[in-house]
Structure 1
């Protein structure tokens, strides 16, 4: 079968293999036919050789962690042939650590987890894959065109879940949310904020292209100026850019008793002069909280499936700015300036 692979740590090793082995039975009893795979910045960084880890028995890593497939067979009866499913990306470590032992592998403490398409597990950019039932998440049939958005949505469901948990430290009645970054993660964060009935603001550098309209369709106010000049004191900021300047300004901009979730990953290697004392004073005297969030557990994946089902499916489809047939796979991993979400289409 065909599979999109790299040799981790080797830039330029992206290949479409025609003779990749069929998924091993040990991967799970549920056999799935791939429909599509979303492409994200993690894939690009792995292709560039920045990180990634192949499974123990091979030099190749199959890419793809934003999955959508159709069940071909499931002898356990958990799923029926034809069901739409996505595969949970992270698997718990074998030890396991205290969090992995209770199904919270997104909070793994010892780093021995594995991840499809990223760390020691083959990804979903192959024509067929297998899953254990507990890692298979069902989707409503109406999501067949956009179900690959489940993985990034699960990441944002977790972020909002943790915002809610932190908010319970006091009387918590948030009204305003600011999302920094209008990529797929940022726009999905804005979607979830709008579903919560919050007044939503989205900040991004883009002044043209689809981003302003996509934010506006959610009822959000779109901003493209500097963050520190916004006339706004949000109760919640979800920071999705990873840009160091924006990260610091978000910490300073949130309102009293506010919560800042850092969901973007900075590249590092850049230093910025800032007044750490003033930041400390603000965080302490205003009871503010800053926390980081990544990945998701099954509870968040199921919440994401519910959120996508409730969303405007046409709006979700507008996030997908390019669908690339498998035969043209390489172009999927070369994002254009107007791209939001690129999808590799196995069903074309």
Structure 2
């Protein structure tokens, strides 16, 4: 069996293992044939040796956390052979903490969770994988071409779920959304905003390539200016870049009673001269909320599946800018200038 693996903590250790062991039944009752895995910034950071953790019984980690597969067998009857399926990335910690105990593993408090392809669990970039029914999300057959987008869509489904919940603290009728960043997370965040009937603005510094057309196809407005140059104050801001200067700028840009959701992860190590007092004054006097959001639980995966099902399939298909066969895996993990989402294909 083929698998794409790395030695965690060792830069440039990516390789294709041609004789990787078959998934052990203890991994889960459902046996899945891999169709595709999506590639994101987390994978690039793991390949660079910045983080990642192998399972306890090996020194190599099968990467890949954005999955799409076809069920080969499911003795539990929750799914059927031939069904499309994606695997939920995170597993609750073994203690468990208060949140993991109620299946909110995305809100784990003690950090003892595990994650497929990232932290102590084999990922989905292998010909076959297993998953317990609780962590298997079935997909409509119509999503066969784009179902690999479910994991990033689940991330933004959680972000929007928490935005909606925070908005209930007071009478609130948001109209305008700013999404900072037009990568996969940003574009999917804009998609879910448009599905809510909001006026959507997307800011990205890339003036060419496929991004402006994808934003326009949502009926949204594309900006290449800085945050401070925008002539409006959004009710909601979803920050998807993790760029420290953009993070600070959007926190100061929200309208009164606004909500800023941070989904981009900053690398750290940069010091910026910033007026923290002015930010504090704005947040307090305008009753604004800034919060972070990462990962997702099963409910968010199901919300994401519904959102993808309501979306224009051709628009979703255009998010995937490259499809690379597993034999050319090295090419897939080498970013291109116009890439949005690169997909490594195992089977068709």
Q: What band does the TM-score fall into relative to the shorter chain?
A: over 0.9
Deviation at 1:12, TM superposition (A): 1.3
SS in 2 for 1:123: coil
Cα shift at 1:263: 0.3
Q: Distance in 1 between matches of 2:72 and 2:36?
A: 15
Work out the CA distance in 2 between the residues paired with 1:32 and 1:172.
44
**C-alpha distance in 2, partners of 1:229/1:39?**
32
Q: 1:92-141, CA deviations, whole angstroms, 9 ceiling, x for partnerless residues?
A: 00100000000000000000000000000000000000010000000000
The alignment partner of 2:191 has SS state of helix
SS at structure 2 position matched to 1:161: helix
Structure 1 outlier segments of 4+, above 6 Å: none
Please tell me whether residue 312 in structure 1 is matched to residue 307 in structure 2: no
Q: Does 1:153 align with 2:134?
A: no
Q: Which residue of 1 aligns with 2:105?
A: 105
- TM-score normalized with structure 2 length: 1.00
What does 1:240-279 correspond to in 2, within 5 Å? 240-279=240-279
Q: Aligned equivalents of 1:92 and 1:56: distance in 2? A: 17
Distance in 1, matches of 2:172 and 2:319, equals 32
Deviations 1:60-95 (Å, cap 9, x if unpaired)? 100100000000000010100000000000000010
Looking at structure 2, the residues matched to 275 and 120 of structure 1 have their Cα atoms a distance apart, in angstroms, of 40
List aligned pairs for 1:288-299, cutoff 5 A: 288-299=288-299
Other-structure match for 1:204: 204
> Which residue of structure 1 aligns with residue 16 of structure 2?
16
3-state SS in 2 of match to 1:98: coil
Q: CA deviation at 1:142?
A: 0.5
Deviation, structure 1 residue 202: 0.2
Distance in 2 (CA, whole Å) between partners of 1:316 and 1:103 is: 29
Structure 2 matches for 1:86-105, cutoff 5 A?
86-105=86-105
- Pairing 1:238–2:238 present: yes
Q: For each residue in 1:141-170, what CA deviation from the matched residue of structure 2 results, as whole angstroms up to 9, or x when unmatched?
A: 000010010000000000000001110100
Residues 190-234 of structure 1, C-alpha deviation per residue, up to 9 Å, x if partnerless? 000000000000000000000000000000000001110100110
Give per-residue Cα distances to partners, 1:243-287, cap 9 Å, x unaligned: 011001100100000000000001111111111111100000000
Rounded Cα–Cα distance in structure 1 between residues aligned with 2:174 and 2:332: 39
2: CA distance between counterparts of 1:294 and 1:178? Answer: 19
Query: RMSD of aligned C-alpha atoms?
Result: 0.5
Helix, strand or coil: the match of 2:336?
A: coil
Rounded Cα–Cα distance in structure 1 between residues aligned with 2:117 and 2:297:
17
Q: Which residue is 1:121 aligned to?
A: 121
Correspondence for 1:177: 177
1:234 & 1:253 partners in 2: Cα distance? 7
Segments of 5+ residues of structure 2 without an aligned counterpart are none
Q: Which runs of 5+ in 1 are unaligned?
A: none
Measured after TM superposition, the shift of residue 347 of structure 1 is: 1.2
What is the 5 A alignment of 1:312-331?
Answer: 312-331=312-331
Partner residue in 2 for 1:28:
28
Partner residue, 2:77: 77
Q: Show the 5 A alignment for 1:209-228.
A: 209-228=209-228
